[in-house]
Amino acid sequence: MTDDYDLLIIGAGPGGLAAAKQAAQYGATVAIAEQAQAGGGCVNRGCIPKKLMVYAAAFARLDQDAIAYGWNACDRQFDWQRFVHARNQEIERLQQIQVQALQDAGIAFINQHASFVDDHTLEVGDRKITAKNILIAVGGQPIRPNIDGIEHALVSDDLFHLEALPKHIAILGGGYIGVEFASILRGFGCRVTLMNREACILSGFDDDLAATVRQGLIDRGIESLCSTTITAIAPTNGGFNLTLDGDCPETLLVDTILCATGRAPRLDGLKLENAGVEADKTAIAVDDNSRTNQPHIFAVGDCTNRLQLTPVARAEGKAVAKTIFGQTPQPLNYDLVPSAVCSYPEAASVGMSEATARKTHGDQVRLYRTEFQPLFYSLTDRHQTNFMKLVVQGDTDRVLGVHMVGDHAGEIVQSLAIALRLGVTKEDLDRAIGIHPSSAEEITSLK
């Protein structure tokens, strides 16, 4: 019996879409089953709507900066519902673009839930569909810790459906999601208390980068509590009483709680056991080519135990299609994947942190760093310092890591990520000629 498709993909997020389009270019017959909207978490509940919120929140401080540049002051008011309507329209437009792109490529888009019947068959809605190869790209979902009253807390997905902005929000979790929403909501004028049970914020990033971002948040009026967590949530009139434990044991009264303590693969309902696919509570197990223990079943993106980043999922999806239909294994190198924190101040990083480099190279590590005020702020009364840091291997002069805090950090570090992959040395950067005046030129003169 002939299979219905050469490749059936579960999930129309970045990884699934990239794999589908790449496979179609090889002439394969491809279908995607997606129970929600095309675009996955990134388009609908993550990167895109969050970045639009970042832009919206920035106008409050830009209005103040405009006065310093000669613009008249004006009594501008923010309309949350108006913004939400505009944002949702843009998300719907992007969804339609994704569906149209699939149709144009001859890829079947089936807007139904999919689950395994056996290792080659999926039940999709009320149909059974067979495929020679299957890709699982179902993404992840926010998780809540086991805390008394945690059902009253929102998760990141919920913030995109708020009817009104909170007056005082407590954010549990100091990773990039917690930091970004703390920054956004403070920009809208909310009172924000940010806490993390381990490091203050941004565990896993370079320590100096994390400390610089944290100070920037504090300067904006965000309360940052280190080594502190919530042990109980109790509803009260107009809000919630939070019992805190750790470095800052106290009781806090807030009207909104955000739980930003991590994400887990969205595996419920897939019936992986019917296909014999190995997985635990944290991820689907895959090899270097994203292949599961079943040779014709693959998995990419946030449902695996690798980097939870949209560009990574996209690259993994393309690589799977090339592995299957291009007959060329395409393992990815995860060592030099850049990442950014879309807060204010913004941060970005690629390569090794100082701590990681010292564990690997010991005394051979050299550091170059600077702090400076960008020209933009010279006319304003706002103190804003950019931070840059290079981590260099002393015996080879090779740049191991780049870390930046400041305006446009993501754009600047993105370009440097390419240089690191090509083996750039400190001397190469010293010989480069920068654009003046710019923040990026500082990377060419670090001492």
**What was the pLDDT predicted at 294?**
97
Q: Please provide the DSSP assignment of 177-229 as one string.
A: HHHHHHHHHHHTT-EEEEE-SSSSS-TTS-HHHHHHHHHHHHHTT-EEETTEE
* Pairwise CA distance, residues 411 & 432, whole Å: 18
Q: What is the mean pLDDT of residues 385-408?
A: 97
Sort 225 into a burial class: Cβ within 10 Å, 0-12 / 13-18 / 19+.
Answer: buried
Q: What is the mean pLDDT of residues 322-328?
A: 92
On whether the CB atoms of residues 301 and 137 are closer than 8 A, the answer is yes
State in words which class domain 346-445 has.
alpha beta
On whether the CB atoms of residues 370 and 205 are closer than 8 A, the answer is no
On whether the CB atoms of residues 3 and 124 are closer than 8 A, the answer is no
**What was the pLDDT predicted at 75?**
87
Residue 399, helix vs strand vs coil = strand
Q: What is the mean pLDDT of residues 311-334?
A: 94
Judge whether 150-261 and 346-445 match in fold.
no
Statement: residue 202 has pLDDT above 90:
yes
Residue type at position 264: A
pLDDT tens sequence across 94-143: 999 999 999 999 999 999 999 999 999 999 999 999 999 999 999 999 99
- pLDDT, greater one: 3 or 255: 255
Q: What pTM was computed for the model? A: 0.95
Task: Map out the domains of the chain as residue ranges.
Answer: 5-141+264-325, 150-261, 346-445
Catalytic residue ranges: 436
Q: What is the CA radius of gyration of the chain?
A: 24
pLDDT tens sequence across 215-270: 999 999 999 999 999 999 999 998 999 999 999 999 999 999 999 999 999 999 99
* Pairwise CA distance, residues 170 & 168, whole Å: 7
**What was the pLDDT predicted at 330?**
83
pLDDT tens sequence across 43-96: 999 999 999 999 999 999 999 999 999 999 988 899 999 999 999 999 999 999
Q: Please provide the DSSP assignment of 276-332 as one string.
A: T--B-SS-B---TTSB-SSTTEEE-GGGBSS---HHHHHHHHHHHHHHHHS----PP
Peptide bond into 295 cis (omega under 30): no
Which DSSP state fits 59?
H
**What was the pLDDT predicted at 280?**
79
- Mean predicted lDDT score pLDDT of the chain: 95
Q: Which tokens is 217 given?
A: 């948040």
* Pairwise CA distance, residues 360 & 318, whole Å: 31
Q: Which tokens is 14 given?
A: 């970045």
Longest CA span, the chain? 74
Nearest CA-CA partner of 286 in 263, 265, 309, 271: 265
Sort 35 into a burial class: Cβ within 10 Å, 0-12 / 13-18 / 19+.
Answer: middle
Phi-psi region of 290 (alpha: psi -120 to 50; beta: other; left: phi over 0): left
**What was the pLDDT predicted at 1?**
56
| CATH number, domain 150-261 | 3.50.50.60
CATH superfamily of this structure's domain 5-141+264-325: FAD/NAD(P)-binding domain (3.50.50.60)
